[in-house]
Amino acid sequence: MWLDLRDIIEMPGKSKGFETVLDPEALLAPSITRFTAPLRAVGRVDNTAGLLNLRAEMPVSMVYVCDRCGVEFPVSRLFEAQVPLAADAEDGDDGELYPLDGDGVDVDDVISASFLLDTDMKCLCRPDCLGLCPRCGKNLNEGPCGCETERDPRFAVLEQLLDKNL
Ligand SMILES: [Zn+2]
Ligand SMILES: [Zn+2]
């Protein structure tokens, strides 16, 4: 949603509120499989002594996929964005300020860019996730798979060779 900032851009002390619903496709980081509730963000742009700053809050309910074992698990969090905006195009060149689009800004774009920066590209279902057995593919969080006791004879030969080299 494009937010017109003409009435606050030159007016220090002024603010403009907004409410928008984001397109989930724009927020899909590799670690997220889907969102389970609409992405409704409420926020405002403040002109503080001539500097524009966007703040927004967005409750996010989503399903993450564990990078190690592939199990999906739900996560809910309140995402808070705080993004300084460039009042003119030249200020936007250094990358620290989000550039305006004409006399306004696309608040959906600002919030999704901030969300993606803030979201881990990899995540685990729990810090000590054991992952999958590389041989049989069983999820080792659910218990041992038995590969350790029933060794494939071909692997036993290989291990003997490796032992000799140690
Ligand atoms: Zn896991
Ligand atoms: Zn196994």
CA–CA dist 38, 64 (Å, integer) = 16
For 28, counting Cβ atoms within 10 Å of its Cβ (0-12 exposed, 13-18 middle, 19+ buried), the class is middle
Cross-strand partners of 90: none
What is the per-residue pLDDT across 66-94, written as a single tens digit (0 to 9) for each?
999 999 999 999 999 999 998 765 554 55
pLDDT score at 154: 66
Gap from CA of 116 to ligand 2 centroid (Å): 35
Is the pTM higher than 0.85? The answer reads no
The token duo for 145 is: 């798979």
Of these ranges, 42-56, 91-105, 137-151, the one predicted with the greatest mean pLDDT is 42-56
Among the bound ligands, the one closest to the CA of 127 = 1
Gap from CA of 75 to ligand 1 centroid (Å): 14
Gap from CA of 72 to ligand 1 centroid (Å): 8
Among the bound ligands, the one closest to the CA of 136 = 2
Among the bound ligands, the one closest to the CA of 69 = 1
What is the per-residue pLDDT across 119-143, written as a single tens digit (0 to 9) for each?
988 899 999 999 999 999 999 999 9
Query: What pLDDT band is residue 96 in, cutting at 50, 70 and 90?
Result: confident
pLDDT at 161 over 60: yes
* Phi, psi dihedrals of residue 90, rounded to the nearest 5°: -65, -35
Gap from CA of 61 to ligand 1 centroid (Å): 19
What's the mean pLDDT when you consider all of the chain?
A: 89
Gap from CA of 67 to ligand 1 centroid (Å): 7
Query: What pLDDT band is residue 105 in, cutting at 50, 70 and 90?
Result: very high
Residue type, 64: Y
Gap from CA of 152 to ligand 2 centroid (Å): 11
Gap from CA of 115 to ligand 1 centroid (Å): 23
Q: Scanning the structure block, which residue is given the tokens 């620290």? A: 96
Among the bound ligands, the one closest to the CA of 155 = 2
Percent over 70 (pLDDT), the chain: 83
pLDDT score at 115: 97
Please compute the mean of the pLDDT values over residues 111-123 and round it to a whole number. Answer: 92
